């Protein structure tokens, strides 16, 4: 397993060791002890899976403290552009975002620590995403940030495709107006 730092404290790209041959492949997608050895103290309590079609954007979601979540994101099928937005007010990277293409071929994963909002756009015909979280979903703590906040200027990598966004995600405030206790 290779760990790649992103320039954001705690936000890491994980490249697992994939063993492939004519039968297919095998890789260890998560191991508490292996992660702990490289400095990632992450104990998941819930797995989430989503399936979306090309052009879908989901996000930018987070939960307020004390229900905040660290997440481990991986793509089971297809390709996405994954975005993590630092909303930790005291962080030197507050208000900046990191984006990376994740796909089912490379098996790369993104570890997102607490204090980040998360979203993704679907670049393939279909994408199935699995993410582990270390705190249970709490509807009362759920929040979001406007996907099109001009201050963030996120390029969702969709080109001329018209984004498909849930009604709920169209009502999130800009980062400067978002409910944030980080």
Within 123-175, strands assigned E span 126-133, 142-144
Percent of the chain's residues with pLDDT above 90: 99
Q: For the chain, which residues make up each domain, given as ranges? A: 2-177
Q: Options 3.50.50.60, 2.60.120.10, 3.40.640.10, 1.10.10.10; which CATH number does 2-177 get?
A: 2.60.120.10
What single-letter DSSP state applies at residue 117? E
Is 131 catalytic? The answer is yes
Query: Both tokens of residue 179?
Result: 């409910």
pLDDT confidence of 47, banded at 50, 70, 90?
Answer: very high
Is 62 catalytic? The answer is no
Catalytic site residue from 131, 137, 171, 172:
131
Catalytic site residue from 61, 94, 118, 137:
61
User: What tens digit of pLDDT does each residue of 79-125 get?
Assistant: 999 999 999 999 999 999 999 999 999 999 999 999 999 999 999 99
CB contact at 8 A, 42 and 111: yes
Closest by CA position to 74, among listed 158, 18, 137: 18
């Amino acid at each position: 397993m290779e760990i790649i730092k992103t320039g954001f404290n705690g936000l890491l790209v994980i490249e697992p060791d994939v063993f492939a041959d004519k039968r297919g492949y095998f890789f260890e997608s998560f191991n508490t002890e292996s992660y702990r050895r490289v400095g990632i103290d992450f104990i998941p309590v819930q797995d989430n899976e989503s399936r979306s079609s090309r052009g879908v954007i989901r996000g930018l979601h987070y939960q307020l403290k004390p229900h905040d979540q660290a997440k481990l994101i991986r793509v089971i099928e297809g390709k996405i552009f994954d975005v993590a937005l630092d909303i930790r007010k005291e962080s030197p990277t507050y208000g900046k975002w990191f984006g990376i293409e994740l796909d089912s071929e490379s098996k790369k994963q993104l570890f997102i620590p607490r204090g980040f909002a998360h979203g993704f756009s679907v670049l393939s015909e279909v994408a199935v995403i699995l993410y582990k979280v270390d705190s249970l979903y709490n509807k009362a703590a759920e929040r979001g940030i406007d996907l099109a906040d001009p201050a963030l200027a996120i390029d969702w990598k969709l080109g001329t495709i018209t984004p498909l966004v849930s009604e709920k995600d169209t009502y999130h405030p800009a980062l400067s107006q978002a409910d944030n206790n980080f």
